[in-house]
Amino acid sequence: MVTKAGHESKVDASPDAHPLVLSLPLFPKPKLLFGDASDPQLRPTRVVAFNLNSIDAVVSAHNADTVAIVQKLQYVELARLLAKAAYGFLVGELGRDRVRGSYLLPIIFGDMSSAGLYIGSCDKMAIADEDDPALSYQSWRLPPNLGGGEIAVVIMRLLPHMKENPAYIVLCDLHEKHSDTA
């Protein structure tokens, strides 16, 4: 959409001149961290947009005052991607026998009914060092009123090459670690 002299009109830009905008949703922190299972739905709280190229070509080609890009926010697909990445990362780090997956496997297969319990993001953009990993995790024990089980808290940055980008938080349940006794 371009605005020229107060009038909006829809225009098509050539692929080489089309603005590339990546919109990433931000979510509340995973509700399980706070023991809140009252509303397990995942809902975006806001969107962060990254302009990956200049929109000047569209503005000048249409002699426009402003340009607006209309996008459909695909947050369900992003949540499924986050679940897949976290699950695969943990299997690679800890082994398949250690990763339980009952939190994430339903999300991976499309059941989003409890995604808000296990997937979220930080409220603010993460300021990253170039040495920071794109994925990291810490083990955490749930309090007794939430079952007392062990979970992995995965922190994920989808754009690790950028200094500022959203930090997503994904929780995955783990099988208890048993010490081998010989």
Burial readout 32-59 (b: 16 or more C-beta within 10 A, e: otherwise):
bbeeeeeeeebebeeeeeeeeeebebbb
* Domain spans, the chain: 2-173
pLDDT of residue 69: 72
pLDDT of residue 17: 65
Note whether 106 and 29 are within 8 A (CB). no
Note whether 161 and 173 are within 8 A (CB). no
Spell out, as residue ranges, where the chain has pLDDT lower than 70: 1-2, 12-18, 52-54, 124-128, 130, 179-182
pLDDT of residue 53: 67
With CA atoms as reference, report the closest residue to 112 among 27, 6, 2.
27
Residue carrying structure tokens 């919109």: 23
pLDDT of residue 26: 93
Per residue in 123-175, pLDDT (tens digit) is 766 666 767 788 999 999 998 988 899 999 999 988 877 777 889 999 999 99
With CA atoms as reference, report the closest residue to 40 among 139, 163, 129, 171.
171
Residue carrying structure tokens 């829809």: 10
Note whether 37 and 15 are within 8 A (CB). no
pLDDT of residue 182: 47
pLDDT of residue 116: 97
